[in-house]
């Protein structure tokens, strides 16, 4: 087998349209990358990220039994903590209990104010618990066992 000279092989390949298109695109890509790299401008830095202030206090986390008019609450009711305009995430009752209700507003204006516990039925009726607790700034998260008693829904 006789080898073709390199120049002849290159000339033959360059006559093929797909090869010419590939080489043209590859050359354009290499040149554009080279121009960007050598331009000296470099990429535009992203603006500095600002992080929100840390929460002013650690959350209170509540667990406990739930009764309505002296009876264990059915499954599927929602318990929420409120302090003024702040509303916590809701947790769903199961087995007459609520678990891991986080109450932790991110604004110090809610310090030293009562936490009101609200129970919502699946049909949307709500009632407030008899129990209250004052929200305070604490040095660490705090977990409380607090049984909640609610009057009858109206």
pTM over 0.75: no
Same-domain check for residues 77 and 15: no
Residue range of the domain that includes 98:
60-150
Residue 138 lies in a domain: yes
CA-based nearest residue to 80, from 130, 116, 124: 116
Residue 145 lies in a domain: yes
Tens of pLDDT, residue by residue, the chain (154 residues): 444 444 444 455 555 566 555 555 655 555 555 555 555 555 565 665 555 555 567 899 999 999 999 999 999 999 999 999 999 999 999 999 999 999 999 888 999 999 999 999 999 999 999 999 999 988 888 999 999 999 999 8
CATH code, domain carrying 71: 2.60.40.1120
Q: Is 45 helix (H, G, I), strand (E, B) or coil?
A: coil
CA-based nearest residue to 95, from 74, 77, 109, 78: 74
17-38 vs 6-14: helix crossing angle, rounded to 10: 100
Same-domain check for residues 28 and 64: no
The DSSP secondary structure of 95-147, one letter per residue, reads TTEEEEEEE--SSGGGTTEEEEEEEE-TTS-EEEEEEEEEE---SS-EEEE--
Residue 1 lies in a domain: no
């Amino acid at each position: 087998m006789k080898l073709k000279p390199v120049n002849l092989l290159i000339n033959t390949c360059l006559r093929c349209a797909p090869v010419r298109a590939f080489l043209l695109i590859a050359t354009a890509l290499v040149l554009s990358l080279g121009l960007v790299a050598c331009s000296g401008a470099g990429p535009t830095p992203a603006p500095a990220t600002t992080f929100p202030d840390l929460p002013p206090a650690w959350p209170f986390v509540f667990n406990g039994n739930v009764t309505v008019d002296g009876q264990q609450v059915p499954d599927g009711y929602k318990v929420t903590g409120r302090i003024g305009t702040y509303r916590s995430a809701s947790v769903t009752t199961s087995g007459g209990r609520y678990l891991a209700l986080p109450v932790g507003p991110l604004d110090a204006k809610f310090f030293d104010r009562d936490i009101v516990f609200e129970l919502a039925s699946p049909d949307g009726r709500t009632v407030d618990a008899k129990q209250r607790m004052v929200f305070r700034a604490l040095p660490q998260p705090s977990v409380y066992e607090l049984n909640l008693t609610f009057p009858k829904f109206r």
